[in-house]
Amino acid sequence: MNKKSKQFINGFTIIEISLFLGLSGFLAVGLMAGWSNSINRQRYNDMVSTFKSEVQQVFFEVENPKNDLTQKIRCTDNGTNISIVLDDSGNSRGTTDCIILGKMINFANPSPFGLFSTHYDTSRYIIGLDINTSTACGGKPCENDIDALKATKYVVATGKNSLSTKWSDTGKWDEQPLEWDGRYKAITDNRTTSGSSRKFSGDLTSPWSIRDSIFGIMILRSPINGSVLAFGVPIGTMGPGNQFYNNENLIASFRNSFTDSRLLLNNNKKVDICVMPNADSYWARAGVSIFGRGKVLRIGNTSSSVEIAPLDGPGSVSCDNQNGFEGVSWN
């Protein structure tokens, strides 16, 4: 009689299958988290690089001027300042007595100081008289770049001198956001050192309260030799509704106060902007950055001196999610 042989089928127990599925799920979650962090890190790096490129572009446009203002404008000298308005019956740019001297970069000045912002502006032209520097300074030759710039009676093309009804009608700047909903804060140290002297602006005074950081940069070409000068402005400059863009006396005061050698950017005096990732991410809400230290955009006086500061070593600077100067590290 043939005996039926017993057959044993090798397989996995329920416990083994459960362990396999659990470990596989754990590894999948880990891989997805790693991919997500890698993507977010790349987005952050791209955002900082784009921010740098856009600031550099403003310097490049001033360093290499061209007639890119196509609107017809009417430019008049009212004694204290110039006035510019859009006017179809006026002259095209390049045929008036006024010229584009430069542009202005504006960073938000949140209240209270030190909070992060998301939008900035690089679109403001600075326009002034096309002067004869041999006679423009009180009937005499202009002795230096700053005196010559003041003699142009330049104005920032916003507020009452806006070149677009979009801004004057809505009261808003042509602001642009950082990529990927990034954030930034101004961290140039202009805190008081002793008495009324400050780290960046020294003993400079103005009709407006000098702030603890720099929120505007005026990039201007000298009427004397065409060299480019950049001035850090230690007050909030964003918003065409500010009085110093609309009141004739204050327009002149703004120009005379901040076209000042104490505010000139150079290799040893730069504007620092802390750049951090999206505030809506889990890590940002928790007050922790998956990137560790945040990067800082350092802005000098030329397009080539706009750089991302190193995180370590000489000249390094970094920041984190804390407001104000908290979490900022300079070397």
How confident is the model over 268-285, as pLDDT tens digits? Answer: 999 999 999 876 654 454
The length of the chain is 331
Instruction: For residue 250, give every residue at least 6 positions away whose Cβ sits within 8 Å of its Cβ, in sequence order, or none.
Output: 207, 243, 244
Task: Name the pTM for this structure.
Answer: 0.84
pLDDT of residue 282: 45
Q: How confident is the model at residue 109 (pLDDT cuts 50, 70, 90)?
A: confident
Contact present, 289 and 279 (Cβ < 8 Å): no
Distance CA 128, CA 38 (A): 48
289 against 55, higher pLDDT: 55
Q: Classify each residue of 81-93 as buried b or exposed e, where b means 16 or more C-beta atoms within 10 Å of its C-beta.
A: bbbbeeeeebeeb
As a whole number, mean pLDDT of residues 55-82 equals 85
The dihedral region occupied by 171, where left means phi > 0, alpha psi between -120 and 50, and beta the remainder, is left
**Percent of the chain clearing pLDDT 70 (strictly above):** 80
Q: What is the mean predicted confidence (pLDDT) over 187-207?
A: 93
Residue 213 has pLDDT above 90, yes or no: yes
Element (H, E) at 46: helix 14-63
Structure tokens at 305: 């001196």
Q: What average pLDDT does the structure give for the chain? A: 84
Given a cut of 90, whether residue 86 has pLDDT beyond it is: no
Chain centroid to Cα 124, Å, comes to 13
For 222-254, what is each residue's pLDDT tens digit? 999 999 999 999 998 887 778 899 999 999 999
